[in-house]
A and B are shown apart, each in its own frame.
Chain A
């Protein structure tokens, strides 16, 4: 594991570079194929509305995969992630138009956990259309 960020160079409150991830219907079809999650709420508007959703929604696991990129791009080595957890609070609604949806992710160092293991806790915030889509979104990362 070779993170490119040094433990000694971060402080509680250090912000990671924020990122935005566009999601279209095509993104969801591709993710369905790659992940094997073919639940029709992620690609069939008629079905999604029948079960009470406003429209097709993104896979929660797609949102989770997108959010951690803020951490893995920062740390450099995705293998530096020791722990990662989220709560799925609101769905990311993906309309069938040219723009689709946008997942906006910011993150900051919330705690320096262990000086010997060089681990920090990073708290993530993920929103789409102004709604918080992940809660309790936290990663533990081992830095250099």
Chain B
């Protein structure tokens, strides 16, 4: 079943704020084995010009992907999540995510395509802080593999 082209441009309501905790950043940095002090040491982060510890560049994906769930699980779109793989990922940063941020995500469907039986959905997640300032945009390409190959 081809996905409905009329979903292109659809924007979902912003998520409830996600509060970025310094210990969550530390846990994530440890999980990727990254000892950069900007992630765990407030003074080191300040020496680089940041007001508090910052998160590794890919940290925000956990937040934007959860928000993308609104799209993925939209029964009207009809994406078969059991066949979905992550195709591409891109981030465009206005500033790094940092401890104490309260972030909301607004997801928009940028494109819906069918190629060689695979269904492809491009989702843009705009991340804003509590003041309404743009922090980062996440571009996520999801590919639902054709049924025979799943």
- A31 engages B88 (CB within 8 Å): no
Excluding A31-B32, A83-B91, 7 further A-B contacts by CB distance (< 8 Å) are A61-B86, A68-B58, A73-B36, A76-B48, A81-B57, A84-B93, A136-B88
List CB contacts (< 8 Å) of B71-107 with chain A. 85-93, 95-96
Number of residues of chain B lying within 8 A (CB) of chain A = 35
Residues of A close to B132: CB separation below 8 A: none
Can you list the 6 inter-chain pairs with the closest CB atoms, starting with the nearest?
A85-B90, A34-B31, A79-B96, A65-B32, A65-B58, A77-B48
Number of residues of chain A lying within 8 A (CB) of chain B = 36
Contact of B28 among A1, A34, A64, A136 (CB under 8 A): A34
Q: Least Cβ distance of A141 to chain B in Å?
A: 11
Contact of A84 among B32, B54, B57, B85 (CB under 8 A): B57
For residue A77, which residue of chain B has the nearest CB? B48
Q: Least Cβ distance of B18 to chain A in Å?
A: 11
**Once the chains are docked, how many angstroms separate the CA of A52 from the CA of B49?**
47
Residues of A close to B31: CB separation below 8 A: 27, 30-31, 33-35
**Once the chains are docked, how many angstroms separate the CA of A136 from the CA of B93?**
18
Contact of A78 among B30, B38, B62, B87 (CB under 8 A): B38
* With contact pairs A2-B49, A79-B48 given, residues A36 and B88 touching in the complex (Cβ less than 8 Å): no
**Once the chains are docked, how many angstroms separate the CA of A62 from the CA of B33?**
10
- B88 engages A78 (CB within 8 Å): no
Taken residue by residue from 49 to 68, chain B's Cβ proximity to chain A (1 for < 8 Å, 0 otherwise) reads as 11000101110011001100
